[in-house]
Chain A
Amino acid sequence: GIQVEQSPPDLILQEGANSTLRCNFSDSVNNLQWFHQNPWGQLINLFYIPSGTKQNGRLSATTVATERYSLLYISSSQTTDSGVYFCAVEGAGGTSYGKLTFGQGTILTVHP
Chain B
Amino acid sequence: DTGVSQDPRHKITKRGQNVTFRCDPISEHNRLYWYRQTLGQGPEFLTYFQNEAQLEKSRLLSDRFSAERPKGSFSTLEIQRTEQGDSAMYLCASSILPVGDEQFFGPGTRLTVL
Mask, B95-114, CB within 8 Å of A = 1, is 00011111111011010000
Checking A4, A43, A48, A97 against B91 with a beta-carbon cut-off of 8 angstroms, the contacting residue is: A43
Q: Say yes or no: is B45 at the interface (Cβ < 8 Å to chain A).
A: yes
Checking B42, B55, B98, B102 against A104 with a beta-carbon cut-off of 8 angstroms, the contacting residue is: B42
Assess whether A45 is in contact with B89, with CB atoms less than 8 Å apart: no
Q: Say yes or no: is B74 at the interface (Cβ < 8 Å to chain A).
A: no
Chain A residues touching B, range: 20 to 34
Shortest CB-to-CB span from A50 to chain B, Å, is 7
Assess whether A97 is in contact with B99, with CB atoms less than 8 Å apart: yes
Assess whether B102 is in contact with A42, with CB atoms less than 8 Å apart: no
Q: Say yes or no: is B28 at the interface (Cβ < 8 Å to chain A).
A: no
Q: Say yes or no: is B41 at the interface (Cβ < 8 Å to chain A).
A: yes
Checking B42, B101, B107 against A42 with a beta-carbon cut-off of 8 angstroms, the contacting residue is: B107
Q: Say yes or no: is A61 at the interface (Cβ < 8 Å to chain B).
A: no
Assess whether B102 is in contact with A48, with CB atoms less than 8 Å apart: yes
- Residues of A bordering B, CB below 8 Å: 4, 30-31, 33, 35, 40-43, 45, 48, 50, 86, 88, 90, 97-105
- Residues of B bordering A, CB below 8 Å: 33, 35, 37, 41-45, 48, 55-56, 89, 91, 93, 98-105, 107-108, 110
